[in-house]
């Protein structure tokens, strides 16, 4: 199991979709993962909120990083997301942690916050099952 922010950033740089959307990995250690996204017009739906698909992709990615630092190569087996507030703000911050882990799978949770003028507000909560895959 490898940890380290630099290693995580290397993996993120190899993922064209995540580069396209603009996710930035800001923390990766045994305690979990954090990603950020500077919100632009391309991330919004017609009412000016961050699109739910952007938040779902961010949650999925952050969940896998939280598990991967403890388990090595992983994939998402399933996840769900609850949107609790519209994503209206300057930045999204996703924080994920492993809640329970076995030999081949982990259950992880992710909270996504929207930051506006320095204040964070919870806008989504996700939970997923992450499975280990051969290297």
Q: In this predicted structure, what is the pLDDT of residue 58?
A: 97
| β-bridge pairing 105-116 and 91-101 | antiparallel
**pLDDT number for residue 3:** 46
Q: What is the domain range of residue 95?
A: 5-132
Q: Write down the pLDDT at residue 44.
A: 97
pTM (predicted TM-score)? 0.92
User: 96-106 as b/e, with b when 16 or more CB fall inside 10 Å?
Assistant: bbbeeeeeebb
- H helix count then E strand count, the chain: 3, 6
Domain at 35, CATH number: 3.10.129.10
Q: Kindly give the confidence (pLDDT) of every residue in the chain, 135 residues in length, as a single tens digit, with 9 standing for 90 and above.
A: 444 888 888 888 888 998 899 999 999 999 999 999 999 999 999 999 999 999 999 999 999 999 999 999 999 999 999 999 999 999 999 999 999 999 999 999 999 999 998 899 999 999 999 999 987
**How far is 123 from 10, CA to CA, in rounded Å?**
28
Q: Which pLDDT belongs to residue 2?
A: 45
CB 22 within 8 A of CB 50: no
The total domain count for the chain is 1
């Amino acid at each position: 199991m490898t940890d380290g922010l630099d290693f995580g950033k290397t993996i993120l740089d190899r993922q064209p979709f995540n580069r396209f959307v603009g996710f930035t990995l800001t923390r990766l250690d045994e305690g979990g993962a954090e990603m950020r996204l500077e919100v632009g017009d391309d991330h919004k739906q017609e009412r000016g909120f961050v699109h739910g698909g952007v938040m779902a992709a961010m949650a999925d990615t952050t969940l896998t990083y939280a598990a991967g630092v403890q388990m090595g190569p992983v994939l998402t087996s399933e996840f769900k997301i609850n949107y609790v507030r519209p994503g209206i703000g300057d930045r999204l911050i996703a924080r994920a942690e492993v809640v329970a882990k076995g030999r081949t799978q982990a259950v992880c949770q992710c909270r996504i916050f929207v930051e506006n003028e320095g204040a964070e507000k919870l806008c989504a909560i996700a939970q997923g099952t992450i499975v280990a895959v051969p290297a």
